[in-house]
Amino acid sequence: MTTPVPRGCGSIHSDYYLLCDMEQAWGIVLESLATAGVLVTIFLICSLFFLICKVQDNNKRHMISIYFFFLLGTLGIFGLTFAFIIKSNENTRPTRFFLFGVLFALCFSCLLTHAFNLIKLVRGKKPFSWLVLLLLIVSFALVQIVINIEYLVTMLVNYRDDFQLMLSEQANKDFVMLLIYVLFLMALTFLMSMFTFCGPYKSWKRHGAHIFVTVLFSIAIWVVWITMLTKGNQLLNKPAWDDPVVAIALVSNGWIFLIMYIVPEICFLTAPLKLEDYPPENDFCQPTFIKQATGVDNRAYTQDEIVRGDREDPSYSPYSSHFQLKTIDTRNDFSIPRPKAQTSPYHDYTGGKGPM
């Protein structure tokens, strides 16, 4: 039996009917939200490259690598939504199992690395360099990549003869079990974000608040969709809701990443520097400027700082130059010599005639 073409769809394969089916509008709504998320994420990536030269704080400039990989992961999450709107088949199923955990592991690895760096900054300690931050992100995400590759190879071997067995209830449980490491990253990030509130330098705590709120909303989304996927849909006898539940989780979590974390972070990326938020006794925590002022200060006028304590003296004059004067010996003649005119030979001439 051939499936009738839904209203709104033309001559396309039946696997893609949910992208255009007007009767089941959840597919159209989700693909619209996912497309909007893709466009916003691309715009933020371009904005990030544009703002690199405008960031004056060296510590904030090192965070750009975290933001870039986080945006890449968010872009993949929005794109993966289409794999759950399209009907599950031999092509989309391995993509779902592999990319879902990898993309979320990348995003939570970025959040965890940022939290580790903020813990040092709020306490006035030396932060990580950009290379260390990059290595931490790759190391955290690489674990999930290895797990997914091993599971995907095992799945292809076990189900190569009858791939439809992956549609069973056991497949949903395997899908959730495959994400245990992502759940661990999420819990660890949530715990580390709490430690970012403990420190004397308050300007960095608002960055920790962005991570805390983002992970808190993500935990709520994950609890709901995992509960529905493993228990709720079976109790309601609605196995067809499996794909919509996961697709909704992807879109909602992607927008939470953008609204709660990356947009505020980019807004504060070029915020004015406050030197009081850095420990003065530690030079390595002082912000590094791109453009340094050149020239030599006039040391003569710095004496004004020294004599501030003498202003209570009645003899103090605010207009004095504060130069140390040396007593001049008055016995020596320091006057400038003046030119003297010679005596004229006609000085005594009266105009009369002389004797003949």
CATH assignment of the domain containing 205: 1.20.1070.10
Residue 276 has pLDDT above 70, yes or no: no
Handedness of CA 296, 301, 305, 307 (dihedral sign): positive
Supply the pLDDT for residue 325. Answer: 55
Structure tokens at 83: 């794999």
Residue 262 has pLDDT above 90, yes or no: yes
Is the residue at 347 inside a domain? no
| 91-100, 194-203, 266-275: segment of lowest average pLDDT | 266-275
Residue 288 has pLDDT above 50, yes or no: no
Residue 331 has pLDDT above 70, yes or no: no
Classify residue 8 as left (phi > 0), alpha (psi -120 to 50) or beta: left
- pLDDT by residue (tens digit) across 68-83? 999 999 999 999 999 9
What is the residue range of 184's domain?
14-271
The label of the residue with tokens 């009858």 reads 162
Residue 19 has pLDDT above 90, yes or no: no
Is the residue at 318 inside a domain? no
- pLDDT by residue (tens digit) across 217-243? 999 999 999 999 888 887 887 777 888
Under 8 Å between Cβ of 67 and 106: no
Structure tokens at 92: 């989309």
Supply the pLDDT for residue 259. Answer: 95
Is the residue at 142 inside a domain? yes
Secondary structure of residue 130 in the 3-state scheme? helix
Residue 336 has pLDDT above 90, yes or no: no
* Upper half-sphere CA count for residue 138 (Cβ side, 13 Å): 7
Smallest CA-to-CA distance from 81 within 124, 115, 43, 38 is with 38
- Terminus-to-terminus CA distance in the chain, angstroms? 163
Q: What is the band of 287 on the pLDDT scale with cuts at 50, 70, 90?
A: very low
Name residue 246's amino acid: V
Residues 6+ apart with CB under 8 A from 162: none
Decide which of 321 and 331 is more confident. 331
Is the residue at 31 inside a domain? yes
Handedness of CA 229, 233, 239, 244 (dihedral sign): negative
57: Cα separation from own chain's centroid: 13
- pLDDT by residue (tens digit) across 28-42? 999 999 999 999 999
Residue 215 has pLDDT above 60, yes or no: yes
Supply the pLDDT for residue 286. Answer: 45
Is the residue at 292 inside a domain? no
Q: What is the band of 282 on the pLDDT scale with cuts at 50, 70, 90?
A: very low
Please give the average per-residue pLDDT across 313-322, as a whole number: 52
- pLDDT by residue (tens digit) across 156-213? 776 655 545 555 557 788 889 999 999 999 999 999 999 998 877 788 888 999 999 9
Decide which of 306 and 209 is more confident. 209
Q: What is the band of 146 on the pLDDT scale with cuts at 50, 70, 90?
A: very high
Is the residue at 141 inside a domain? yes
Structure tokens at 49: 């490259």
Supply the pLDDT for residue 16. Answer: 81
Helices 64-85, 92-121: inter-axial angle, 10-degree rounding: 160
Handedness of CA 252, 257, 261, 265 (dihedral sign): negative
Residue 285 has pLDDT above 50, yes or no: no
Is the residue at 218 inside a domain? yes
Under 8 Å between Cβ of 176 and 229: yes
Is the residue at 112 inside a domain? yes
Smallest CA-to-CA distance from 68 within 43, 49, 81 is with 49
Q: What element of type H or E holds 180? A: helix 180-195
Decide which of 99 and 160 is more confident. 99
Decide which of 327 and 158 is more confident. 158
* Mean pLDDT value across the chain: 79
Domain count for the chain: 1
Under 8 Å between Cβ of 77 and 254: yes
| 49-53, 128-132, 199-203: segment of lowest average pLDDT | 199-203
